[in-house]
Amino acid sequence: MPPRLAVRDLAKHYGGVQALRGVTLHVEGGEVLGIVGDNGAGKSTVAKILSGATFPSAGEVLLDGSEVQFANPAAARDAGVATVYQDLALADQRDVVANFFLGKEILSGNWLGRRLGWLDTRAMAQHTVAELARLHTRIPDVRVCARDLSGGQRQALAIARAAGWTSKVLLLDEPTSALGVEQQQQVLDLIRRVSAEGIAVILISHQMPDVLAVCDRVVVLRLGQVAATLAGDKLTSENLVGYITGAKIGD
């Protein structure tokens, strides 16, 4: 069976700058793959390509074995790759329900819904509560504005929303930066639960402890190439730092 998501010989250059020089990696359903690397190693370029924000200069992206090209973020999401952005992309003055359903609102089944786009707010609220409860996110009231949530709750909302979009791949760009200890823990728990549902999770992060805590396998990028893929007992803090900085070379 082909992997859930694979990229082959991915390259990207911006003018003369070579951001990616042939990256090959894959992730299976139910697996948490970490992508780490120093600034400029190519992490965010990989994220941009997978989320449909930019096109690769060369190479291919395979979803369930068939090649895909994402024209824009919506196309990526519709194909099954949902992204949680670093800034979370929440509408702060809108409530939790509105944010959770942004872009996929439930309309009333009657004439009003079809003709006028009348929202079925009750069903939306119930679904939101159920989804958040399923992922054990602690948001006390779904009618609260997003800006009145704590940092961890906002993160949880964004992740739960993205997980609700997809059953295939969830891409997380720096999800735990700017969070407190307890909230980081909550977010990591949430990532584990999403992964336990069979979704392939890609975690792009600077935070070594988080990567070690939650990832099954970690790809280290350095200067636009895969420096190492670490798993099992090779997945240690020393190895990660060694390959990220270039102190260690080769697999």
Partner 1 sequence: MARAADIGTAEPGQEPGVAPRQTWWRRSQAAVRDLWIGGVLLVIMAGFSIGSPYFLTRANWLNTSSTGTEVLLLAVGETFVICSGGIDLSVGAVLGFSGTAGAWVMATGFAGAHGAAVGAVLVGFLAAIVAGVAFGLLNGVLVAWAGIPPFVVTLGTLGIATGCGYLLNNGQEISAIPGSVATFGNTNLGGWIPVPVLITAVITIWCGLLLAKTRFGAYTLSIGDSRDAVIRAGINDRRYLLRIYLLSGLLAGVAGVLVMARLGAGSPDSGATDNLNAIAAVVIGGASLFGGRGTVIGSVIGTGIIAVLITGLVLINVPPFWQEVTVGVVLIIAVYIDQLRNRKSSRN
Give the footprint of partner 1 on this chain (CB under 8 A): 72-74, 77-78, 83, 85, 87, 89-94, 98-99, 102-105, 107, 116-119, 121, 138-141, 143-144, 147-153, 176, 179-185, 188, 207-210, 212-213, 237
With beta carbons less than 8 A apart as the criterion, state whether 54 and 70 touch.
no
> Looking at residue 32, what DSSP letter applies?
E
Which of 115, 134 has the CB closer to partner 1? 115
Which of 15, 140 has the CB closer to partner 1? 140
Give the DSSP per-residue string, 190-232: HHHHHHHTT-EEEEE-S-HHHHHHH-SEEEEEETTEEEEEEEG
Which of 2, 180 has the CB closer to partner 1? 180
CA distance 240 to 36: 8
**Least Cβ distance, residue 90 to partner 1 (angstroms):** 6
Coil, strand or helix: which one is 243? Answer: helix
**Least Cβ distance, residue 220 to partner 1 (angstroms):** 17
Which of 185, 229 has the CB closer to partner 1? 185
CA distance 69 to 79: 10
170 residue type, one letter: L
Q: In angstroms, how far is CA 153 from the centroid of its own chain? A: 16
**Least Cβ distance, residue 224 to partner 1 (angstroms):** 26
Sequence-ordered list of residues with C-beta below 8 angstroms from that of 8, at least 6 positions apart, any chain:
24, 59, 60, 62
Which of 8, 94 has the CB closer to partner 1? 94
| 80: β partners | none
**Least Cβ distance, residue 143 to partner 1 (angstroms):** 8
**Least Cβ distance, residue 210 to partner 1 (angstroms):** 7
Which of 9, 141 has the CB closer to partner 1? 141
**Least Cβ distance, residue 101 to partner 1 (angstroms):** 9
